Amino acid sequence: MLLLAACCCPAAIANAQQQVTLQSGAVLVGEVTMDGAELVVNIAGADVRVPFKEVAKVEATGERSSDDVDMLLLKALEIRIQSGDGKEQGVLSEAFRRAPDNPRVAYWYARCLAESGYGLGAAEIYEPRKEAIDAAYPGMGQRLEVLIGQRERLEKLPVPLKKRLMEIEEAGAAGAVLVAAFFKLVDQHGEPVPRGAYHVYCYGGRNERIETFDDGYVLVSFSGSSGYRDKACRVDMQRGHYEDKTFEFVPQPTQARDAGVFVVRQFGDADRVELTVNVVDKDQKPLDRVVVEMRPASGSSIEMRRLSTGADGRVSFQPLPGRSVVSCARAGYLSSGRSIEVNSSGEDQELTMTLYRQLRGKVDVQWRMLQLLPGGESDQNATKGSQRISLPGGGGRSPQGQRVPWLALIQNGGDLNLSVQDVPSDLLPRGSTFVGQYRVKDADADARKQFESLNLEKIDELKSQLELYQADPRSPSGRAGHAHPVEAGDILVGRIVSQDGQGGRPAVVEFKALVEEISSAAAGPTNPAAP
């Protein structure tokens, strides 16, 4: 039956903008008139003739019943609940065509489009109706805006990256546990950061893969276990001409997470700072012929520079802002290094480094080692030993020389220390171990004779003649201290816990050590590695 919105006389419908719905479901909108057994619809100046028998309904434009729109919306939501795969989009499209100003219809239509990957189309619907949607669905509009923004970014991604994201989703659907995330890494001008300027660290994954794409996009993916839980990855800048910076992101299984945009500052020559390094000896006098090296703390060799000091002991570098490491070396001196934060304010900086003469030392060590049993130490199967240790051990610049497993000579600045390693053990009562300096009875007596006269089998009697060192406060068992400054002629005596040389079993070591000699190494010629 043909339904007309106005009376069926030609005068009633002539020159009226109306909407004609055909039996086929097609819709014509235009000025409608009647000519015999036909309706004539003028659409943009062109007449379309339709026999009455093909017309289902004629009504004024914009006067559709709101009930029809509500029914369509309910039908769309029903389809959404039942299928959940976007099949409601066609029904929502019709509802939106009928009622484009209905905020509820606009919300669900925009959301459906965004979830289907059409961010730009969703934005065209959402943006003009933002306030109305927020009023209809308080709080939900903001979440929809975030979703639309994410989809818009996805649509703008390079095509190869979008292809890889689809492959990751397909792998997840097939049951593979592929964990992934992507981000955009650019400088302050929006220019992509080259691959060699950063390093990506991820934990708990296998077969890690880092892929780069146009416009600075980076895709990180790896194989995870079925019980994989979110773990943070990080991007560390490797300096070059970029600031020291770290970014964190969390990848997710089956679908690559959009970690956003990371912006790092790129420095140019205008950002360089004048850094002057002054090298002095222990008396604060300038040192010449010192090789001074400066490099970024990240280890990058791009900005590494090496200079030699003159008579004033000074060199100047022009580093970029960020953390750098300055090291100094000269034959006959102990090498030194330290890190410094080069400011980005443009102000000049100055750094003073002190080099100490490399010390040479010799120590004669004698000991007896006893088994450590649950009831204490046992004299049975006690072994004796002796060794002469020296610094430096191999002719290098290391501050540590030759050693026995529990005793070593170490240079600390301008001092020589005797380092004792006491292993904590519950088999000895607290306070049973000790280290101290033997008080020589006669100041003019020969230190060697005094040393040889000490009987380690009577070490408990010797303990009363020692200036005991304080226990190391960091030791939970109150064991003897570790490093002790010494001079030539000093005699150290002690009882410590170590390990035997066979099965690594705990053993008590009673020892005496004579510092035979301490001297300074000669200042040799300029380091041959210097430019």
Q: What integer is the mean pLDDT of 45-65?
A: 76
Q: How far is CA 229 from the centre of its chain?
A: 18
Asked if pLDDT for residue 321 goes beyond 70, the answer is yes
DSSP 71: H
Q: Is residue 458 classed exposed, middle or buried when 0-12, 13-18 and 19+ CB atoms within 10 A define those classes? A: exposed
pLDDT over 90 percentage in the chain: 34
Q: With bands split at pLDDT 50, 70 and 90, how would you rate the model's confidence at 471?
A: low
Q: With bands split at pLDDT 50, 70 and 90, how would you rate the model's confidence at 531?
A: very low
Overall CATH class of domain 160-264: mainly beta
Model pLDDT, residue 503: 63
Model pLDDT, residue 296: 85
**Domain map of the chain by residue range?**
3-60, 66-155, 160-264, 272-354, 359-520
DSSP 8: S
> Best-predicted range by mean pLDDT among 323-327, 418-422, 522-526?
323-327
Q: With bands split at pLDDT 50, 70 and 90, how would you rate the model's confidence at 39?
A: confident
> Does the structural domain 66-155 have CATH classification 1.10.8?
no
Q: With bands split at pLDDT 50, 70 and 90, how would you rate the model's confidence at 502?
A: low
DSSP 131: H
Q: What integer is the mean pLDDT of 372-382?
A: 69
Q: What average pLDDT does the chain have? A: 83
Instruction: Please write the tens of the pLDDT for every residue from 387-397.
Output: 999 887 544 45
Model pLDDT, residue 152: 84
Matching residue, tokens 């419908």: 13
> Does the structural domain 3-60 have CATH classification 2.30.30.100?
yes
CATH, domain 272-354, list 3.30.310.50, 2.60.40.1120, 3.40.350.10, 2.60.40.60: 2.60.40.1120
Asked if pLDDT for residue 165 goes beyond 70, the answer is yes
Q: Which residue has the higher pLDDT, 523 or 368?
A: 368
Q: How far apart are CA 509 and CA 99, in angstroms?
A: 93
Q: Is 348 left (phi over 0), alpha (psi -120 to 50) or beta?
A: beta
Instruction: Please write the tens of the pLDDT for every residue from 62-98.
Output: 555 566 788 888 888 888 888 767 788 888 888 898 8
Asked if pLDDT for residue 164 goes beyond 70, the answer is yes
Model pLDDT, residue 236: 92
- Range in 26-35, 60-69, 508-517 the model is least confident about: 60-69
Model pLDDT, residue 234: 94
Q: With bands split at pLDDT 50, 70 and 90, how would you rate the model's confidence at 274?
A: very high
CA angle 62, 16, 47 (to 5 degrees): 110
Model pLDDT, residue 10: 42
DSSP 242: B
Instruction: Please write the tens of the pLDDT for every residue from 106-139.
Output: 999 999 988 887 888 999 999 999 999 999 999 8
Q: What integer is the mean pLDDT of 485-493?
A: 92
Q: How far is CA 468 from the centre of its chain?
A: 47
- The three-state secondary structure class of 46 is strand
Asked if pLDDT for residue 189 goes beyond 90, the answer is yes
Model pLDDT, residue 526: 35
Q: Please indicate whether the domains covering 160-264 and 272-354 agree at the CATH topology level.
A: yes
**Residues 169/246, Cβ–Cβ less than 8 Å:** no
Asked if pLDDT for residue 184 goes beyond 90, the answer is yes
Q: Is 3 left (phi over 0), alpha (psi -120 to 50) or beta?
A: beta
Q: What integer is the mean pLDDT of 217-242?
A: 83
Q: What integer is the mean pLDDT of 440-465?
A: 84
Model pLDDT, residue 13: 45
The end-to-end CA distance of the chain, in Å, is 102
Q: With bands split at pLDDT 50, 70 and 90, how would you rate the model's confidence at 45?
A: confident
Asked if pLDDT for residue 363 goes beyond 50, the answer is yes
